[in-house]
Amino acid sequence: MVILEEAEKILSYGETCDHCLGRFFGKRSFGLTNEERGRALRISLFLRDHLPYRPPGQCWICGDLFSRVDEWADRVIEATRGIEFERFVIGTRVPPLMAESEEIVWSDLSLAHAEPLKSEMNREVGKAVAKKTRKTADPKQPEVVAILNLAEEFVEVQVNPLFFYGRYRKLERGIPQTHWHCRACQGKGCEACNFTGKQYQDSVEELIGRPVTRLFLAENAILHGSGREDIDALMVGTGRPFVMEVVSPRVRVRDLAEVEDAVNREAEGRVSVTLERWSTREEVEIIKSTKGYKKYRILVEIDGSYSQEELQSAIRALKGAKISQRTPIRVAHRRADRVRERQVLDISITGEENSMVILEVTGEAGLYIKELISGDQGRTEPSLSGLLGRSARVCSLDVVQVQGHNEGE
Ligand SMILES: [Zn+2]
Ligand SMILES: [Zn+2]
């Protein structure tokens, strides 16, 4: 019988435990553990040769690692104490020498059905942890990854991030969306930035992230916004869609309404949020690539005198117009110089303030609003300034609405 001869050859390499012996045939005959396979093969050999049964000595491959499965399970439980999770997965860092030992036998004997030590260890410790904790071993969507570092005899723990979806409003000017390194020291900390390493004390990300980090006992919180507004623009109306990534949270079970309350209380009217639901890593990619329309409210200053009729007719000409825009001078240093076409979906006069005109503009994603008004020295065509034949500029710009990826037109 070929399999017994193979088992005999394997045993000639040195003392081999039932787990390691059975694992060489791990992908044959399901419904057995490797230990059962190994023990069955060993017993069969003794029976064939009319020899008295003798248990194996210390295993030359694993050093009897599998007799310590329970001990490693306890280490996992200890290392994850204080972390809230239901689904976990075990990983194993196998010392190179240990992996090499079994690989030598695989290739010497051309064994086609062997399972690596790593996967048996992951599975057996996973089963033991699940039994002791009533949590679930789930390799597809684990919340916690526990890695058995066999050489150094300890368990490394990685806590997978949490994601939630919401919208934010920015109600104060001068707050960037994410934190900027101090220009003087590039984030190292210097006198100019009061040793904070930051150009601005707060960002939308930090105003939302601070209470989030605390409530989830997390390491950090990262804001993934659907685009961003200028630092001096407000974001009002229904707010800008975002997904927040909570990094390494020790608490996972939280009512989002409670998180929303905490953020809104602590941001003190500078930023406010609506948190809608839990989200995923996949949605981060979607939200960052969404090209929805945007609606702005702008305050426009126009030089010299002009009649209401002239202004009305210029606005009519812009409504629905395709605007050809060469990369604006103000961003030319960081973007490729090219001409693009974007549509003004809607534009209307909504009022006046200090002899300036208030306009509401809805533009296709990527339309440069400041240049639509100023003309950018002829680089944007048509423009309000060009149509009026006098210079015009945006004095303040607020984002009123950003279309989310899950909304229709
Ligand atoms: Zn072994
Ligand atoms: Zn600095």
pLDDT in tens, 170-182: 999 999 999 888 9
Reported as a pLDDT band with limits 50, 70 and 90, residue 407 is low
- The Cα–Cα gap between 390 and 375 comes to 10
Range with lowest mean pLDDT among 43-57, 160-174, 325-339, 369-383: 325-339
Place of tokens 């419904």: 31
Q: What confidence score (pLDDT) does residue 112 get?
A: 87
DSSP 13: T
CA-closest candidate to residue 113, choices 12, 34, 1, 17:
34
Is pLDDT of 183 > 70? yes
From the list 35, 57, 55, the residue with the least C-alpha distance to 121 is 35
Same domain for 10 and 109?
A: yes
Same domain, 195 and 328: no
Whole-angstrom CA distances from 50 to 4, 21, 37 are 14, 20, 20
The single-letter code of the amino acid at 176 is P
Q: Give per-residue pLDDT as tens, 385-400.
A: 999 999 999 999 999 8
Does residue 25 share a domain with residue 148? Answer: yes
Find the ligand nearest to 102 CA.
1
Q: Which ligand is nearest to the CA of 24?
A: 1
Q: How far is the CA of 117 from the centre of ligand 1 (A)?
A: 9
CA-closest candidate to residue 296, choices 368, 388, 386:
368
> Which residues are known catalytic residues?
230
- Quick one: 47 and 100 in the same domain? yes
256 and 317 belong to one structural domain: no
CA of 175 to the centre of ligand 2 (A): 17
The whole-number pLDDT of residue 14 equals 94
Between the alpha carbon of residue 193 and those of residues 172, 175, 206, 375, the distances in Å are 21, 16, 17, 36
Task: Write down which residue in 249, 268, 289 finishes a domain.
Answer: 289
Tell me what percent of the residues of the chain surpass a pLDDT of 90. 81
Query: Domain holding 277: CATH number?
Result: 3.30.70.2510
Total of domains in the chain:
3
Running DSSP on this structure, what letter comes out for residue 330? Answer: G
Instruction: Give the residue-averaged pLDDT of 141-157.
Output: 96
3-state secondary structure of 263: helix
**pLDDT at residue 331, rounded to an integer:** 85
The verdict on 16 and 154 lying in the same domain is: yes
- Report the chain's mean pLDDT, rounded to a whole number: 93
Q: How much distance in Å is there from the Cα of 62 to the middle of ligand 1?
A: 4
Alpha carbon of 77 to ligand 1 centroid (Å)? 24
Residue 96 lies in a domain: yes
- Which of 130, 159, 188 is the last residue before a domain boundary? 159
| E strands, 129-216, in order | 136-137, 144-149, 154-159, 162-170
CA distance 289 to 278: 19
6 in a structural domain: yes
Cα dist from 98 to 64, 91, 116, 369, 407, whole Å: 11, 16, 10, 64, 55
- Ligand 1 ion: nearby residues, β-carbon < 5 Å: 17, 20, 59, 61-62
Give the model's pLDDT for residue 406. Answer: 67
Residue 384 sits in a domain whose CATH number is 3.30.70.3190
**Residue 407 is assigned to a structural domain of this protein:** no
Judge if 395 and 307 occupy the same domain. yes
pLDDT tens, residue by residue, 186-214? 989 999 988 989 888 899 999 999 999 99
Q: Is residue 219 part of a domain?
A: yes
Separation of alpha carbons 80 and 156, rounded Å:
9
Q: How far is the CA of 154 from the centre of ligand 1 (A)?
A: 20
CA distance 74 to 90: 13
| pLDDT value of position 290 | 76
| CA gap 18, 282 in Å, rounded | 43
Q: 308-316 long-range CB contacts below 8 Å, 24 or more apart?
A: 310/388, 311/349, 311/357, 311/388, 312/349, 313/387, 314/384, 314/387, 314/388, 315/347, 315/348, 315/349, 315/359, 315/384
Is residue 64 a part of any domain in this protein? yes
DSSP secondary structure code for residue 105 in this structure = H
Amino acid 397: pLDDT: 92
- Let me know: does 57 contact 20? Beta carbons within 8 Å: no
Residue 40: domain span: 2-159
Closest-lying ligand to the alpha carbon of 186? 2
Q: Is the pLDDT of residue 61 over 90?
A: yes
User: Ligand 2 centre from 366 Cα, in Å?
Assistant: 32
Q: How confident is the model at residue 5 (pLDDT cuts 50, 70, 90)?
A: very high
The string of pLDDT tens digits covering residues 324-368 is 999 999 888 888 899 999 999 999 999 998 889 999 999 998 899
pLDDT of res. 284: 93
Asked if residue 53 belongs to a domain, the reply is yes
* Position with higher pLDDT, 187 vs 129: 129
Helix orientation angle between 96-109 and 2-11, rounded to the nearest 10 degrees: 140
* Domain shared by 130 and 207, yes or no: no
Is residue 175 a contact partner of residue 202, using CB atoms and an 8 Å limit?
Answer: yes
Residue 359 in any domain: the answer is yes
Residues 17 and 94 in one domain: yes
Judge if 229 and 148 occupy the same domain. Answer: no
* Cα 62 to Cα 95: distance, rounded to the nearest angstrom: 10
Looking at residue 335, its pLDDT comes to 83
- Asked if residues 360 and 348 have their Cβ atoms less than 8 Å apart, the reply is yes
**Would you say the pTM of this structure is higher than 0.95?**
no
Same domain, 169 and 151: no
* Range name among 77-91, 208-222, 326-340 with the lowest pLDDT average: 326-340
Ligand 1 midpoint to CA 288 (Å): 49
What pLDDT score does 409 carry? 34
CA 202–ligand 2 middle distance (angstroms): 14
CA 103 to centroid of ligand 1, rounded, Å: 13
Look at residue 1 and tell me whether its pLDDT is greater than 70: no
Q: Which ligand is nearest to the CA of 197?
A: 2
- Within this chain, do residues 195 and 114 fall inside the same structural domain, yes or no? no
Task: Tell me the C-alpha distance between 101 and 95, whole Å.
Answer: 10
The pLDDT score that the predictor gives to residue 287 is: 87
Last residue of a domain, one of 244, 267, 289: 289
Residue 187, number of CB atoms within 10 A of its CB: 15
Q: Which ligand neighbours the alpha carbon of 16 most closely?
A: 1
Residue 103 has pLDDT above 80, yes or no: yes
